[in-house]
Structure 1
Amino acid sequence: IYLRTQRRLATSTVGFHTTRLKMIVSEAITDGIITADPFAGYEAEKPQREQKFLTSEELHRIMTTPLHDSRLYHVRDLFLFSCYTGIPYGDMCLLTEDNLETAEDGTVWIRSSRKKTKVEYEIPLLELPLRIIEKYWGMAPEGKLLPMYSNSTLNAYLKRIAKICGIERRLVYHCGRHTYATEITLSHGVPLETVSRMLGHNRITTTQIYAKVTDDKIGTDTQNLDSRIASRFTVAI
């Protein structure tokens, strides 16, 4: 209450401080300095994190707006690659030409493992990321798949791109991963379990944090449901 009212700290900051204080208190209890846990029964409130993703209209603007700068086009291509594969910055930096595999039906896949969790993931490539790979093929050093900028440089350029495209939200590189989960896959009927596998998540609940069900998706699903069950049920009026 003190942190929230007198210090006027945000919920996330209160959680940050109390979590670390609880660690020190636990050590004090273990060492016998205090005998009762003042945090017994207390859990710091966790704010609902709003995940950022681009709408289909915003994504279209980024894809079609002239940028008039080769570096901005380069950054845009890297960002769109993440939007259409869901691969985050750290994992994109590790991709090499060896991570590409072509299936018997001709589909090109990226197969690798997450840098953060070591969980394996596999993604069939859509047309746009294939075109981006072809555009930059052989340009990255040491057999890397794409020539990457630093994350801070990418975010600085994305800020300029957002302004040029008339996008008012704060645009950062990680928005691409959220966009893939929401607009590219789930909004077009890809099952949550499949999206979870492609994103390299251990648990479905992690994927649910990224994925937001849009109004368009709700409307489409409801219309599809109505068309399937309309003939099954009749009511005498």
Structure 2
Amino acid sequence: MAKISIKRRNESERADGCAPLYAVLNIEREKIRVPVDLAVTVTEWDAVAERVKGRGQEVKDKNLIISNVRAKISDILVRARLTGEQLTKASFLALYRRPPEDGQFIRYARRHLDATRDALQWETQRHHAAALKKLEDYRPDLYLHEITPEFLRTYAVYLRDKLGNSPGTIRKNMCVLRVYYYAAMRAGLVHRNPFDTYKAPRAEPVVVFLTEEEFTALLDLYKSDRLPDNEQDVLRFWLFMAFTGMHITDARLLQIEQIVGGEIHYTRIKTRTKVIMPLSGPAAKLVEYYKAGRRRGNLFVTLPTDQAFNRVIKRVCQRVDILKPVSAKAARHTFATLYYKKNGGDLGTLSKLLGHTSITTTMIYAHIMKENRVAGVSAFDGML
């Protein structure tokens, strides 16, 4: 099979120092150059490895484009060899320029997901795979060129009416589609952007949290020690998250060595933000329970899956007449709302404790405590 090389055309260097990349191969002793649609500087280009140097998402995207060009050329050469077709320069270029059979969106997106898997958190991988499965159930044969603003609107209606997805869930699914469509645009497979005119639905986030009275009821239930062991274990872990504001994914990964000097030191998986959470008295007691004399390793050794955890915590809450859709995330929200209420609306510190990258995200807790602000102001009623 013909050797495929990626070359930088140094003689075509532009004023900005960038020169275009080409895939180069020989067929029937004729040199063929295939544009890669990328231009790089001489310092960016590794001529030996035939890859763009460096790290970061932009470098990964450029190298993925190069890999896709190589794969497309290899596919044409392999197919020709298997079918016995004698390729010429003209026939090769005609095949290369023809819209690919694998222009199917699902196939392309899954291939891209596999190529970038190492750069994604497990939760993100799972979320993307689930979104692609939904789309596959709806249109398994969807081609890239068929993704138009009209298609996106129709699919959003399907998610809403047939699957019962909320506006927030629909938006998340559409954002996943956009990630892979943009990757196809960068690879030169499509050139128009349907997301310019289609806007995913926005939704106010639904924040489920416990009031102080409800939280106290759960604490009393925990201290009564009358729950079955599995429910007591789930409630104990939920209370730990409520006392520390940790997300369940971060809590699962917590190491004993990260608890130093009465503080938890960790980096949030979602935002890559470093967090220092002081241990309150109740949180410290739970830490000692889970450590059980150990000095290193995972703080939490055996925990149910997220889905099983959420089923059990709902059942536990129902035992004390809490009928809200309580989940693991409700523990984090409960910490935030109680902290906000008891610390005079200190959003700045709360934002740091939660590991938010922007205080705008933390503002949601100011919004949901509106009734307390109104009640406070009402103290002046009747004075004038």
TM-score interval for Structure 1 and Structure 2 normalised by the shorter chain = 0.7 to 0.9
Matches within 5 A, 1:173-192: 173-183=328-338, 185-188=339-342, 189-192=344-347
Deviation at 1:117, TM superposition (A): 2.5
Deviation at 1:127, TM superposition (A): 1.3
Deviation at 1:118, TM superposition (A): 2.1
Partner of 1:93: 252
* Whole-angstrom CA distance in 1 between matches of 2:310 and 2:160: 30
Deviation at 1:141, TM superposition (A): 9.5
Structure 1 residues 30, 218: CA separation in 2 closer, same or farther (over 3 Å shift)?
same
What SS class does the counterpart of residue 123 from structure 1 fall into? Answer: strand
Q: Is this contact kept in 2: 1:93–1:148, CA < 8 A?
A: no
Structure 1 residues 144, 22: CA separation in 2 closer, same or farther (over 3 Å shift)?
closer
- The amino acid that maps onto 1:194 is T
What SS class does the counterpart of residue 352 from structure 2 fall into? Answer: helix
Aligned Cα RMSD in Å? 3.4
TM-score, structure 2 as length reference: 0.48
Structure 1 residues 43, 101: CA separation in 2 closer, same or farther (over 3 Å shift)?
same
Deviation at 1:5, TM superposition (A): 6.9
* Whole-angstrom CA distance in 1 between matches of 2:169 and 2:308: 28
Matched, 1:48 2:204: yes
CA offsets 1:67-100 (integer angstroms, 9 cap, x no match):
4323322221111111111011111122222222
Q: Is this contact kept in 1: 2:160–2:170, CA < 8 A?
A: no
What SS class does the counterpart of residue 174 from structure 1 fall into? Answer: helix
Q: Matched residues, percent identical?
A: 24
What SS class does the counterpart of residue 111 from structure 1 fall into? Answer: strand
Structure 1 residues 97, 39: CA separation in 2 closer, same or farther (over 3 Å shift)?
closer
Matches within 5 A, 1:1-237: 9=161, 11-12=167-168, 15=171, 20=177, 24=181, 40-65=196-221, 66=224, 67-102=226-261, 108-138=262-292, 143-150=297-304, 151-183=306-338, 185-188=339-342, 189-209=344-364, 212-216=368-372, 218-220=374-376, 222=377
Structure 1 residues 136, 223: CA separation in 2 closer, same or farther (over 3 Å shift)?
farther
Q: Is this contact kept in 2: 1:140–1:147, CA < 8 A?
A: no
Single out whichever of 125-134 and 93-102 deviates more from structure 2.
Answer: 93-102
Partner of 1:230: none
What SS class does the counterpart of residue 46 from structure 1 fall into? Answer: coil
Deviation at 1:17, TM superposition (A): 6.4
More strand by share: 2
CA offsets 1:149-172 (integer angstroms, 9 cap, x no match):
132332232122012111111121
* Whole-angstrom CA distance in 1 between matches of 2:332 and 2:159: 35
Greater relative contact order structure (CA < 8 Å, 6+ sep):
1
- Which of structures 1 and 2 has the bigger CA Rg? 2
